[in-house]
């Protein structure tokens, strides 16, 4: 069954439907992460927003923008690779 976009509040705010692109986008923005990371978190802990948030906070202590800049800094230069 598709999500009722007219329904605001209640269970809609407590659960994440990974089959709805707009929900993935909105939750990813709220948790400062990517839609793919939301999907992975839901797969790991279920669709409850509170559990997903705790999972993301536990496994990612920095913001998404910080993670992206750190990963770019950690990549070895082509001259450093074997």
Q: Which of the pair, 26 or 81, is modelled with greater confidence? A: 26
pLDDT at res. 22: 95
How far is CA 38 from each of CA 30, 58, 79, rounded to the nearest angstrom? 11, 13, 35
Q: What is the mean pLDDT of the chain?
A: 78
Q: Which of the pair, 70 or 15, is modelled with greater confidence? A: 15
Q: What is the CA radius of gyration of the chain?
A: 16
| Nearest alpha-carbon partner for 32 in 59, 55, 63 | 63
Binning pLDDT at 50, 70 and 90, where does residue 13 land? Answer: confident
Distance, first Cα to last Cα, the chain:
52
CB atoms within 10 A of CB 34: 15
């Amino acid at each position: 069954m598709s999500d009722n976009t007219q329904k605001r509040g209640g269970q809609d705010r407590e659960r994440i439907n990974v089959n709805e692109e707009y929900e993935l986008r909105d939750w990813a923005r709220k948790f400062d992460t990517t839609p793919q990371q939301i999907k992975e978190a839901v797969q790991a802990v279920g669709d409850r927003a509170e559990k997903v948030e705790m999972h993301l906070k536990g496994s990612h202590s920095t913001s998404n923008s910080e993670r992206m800049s750190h990963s770019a800094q950690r990549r070895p230069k082509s001259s450093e690779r074997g």
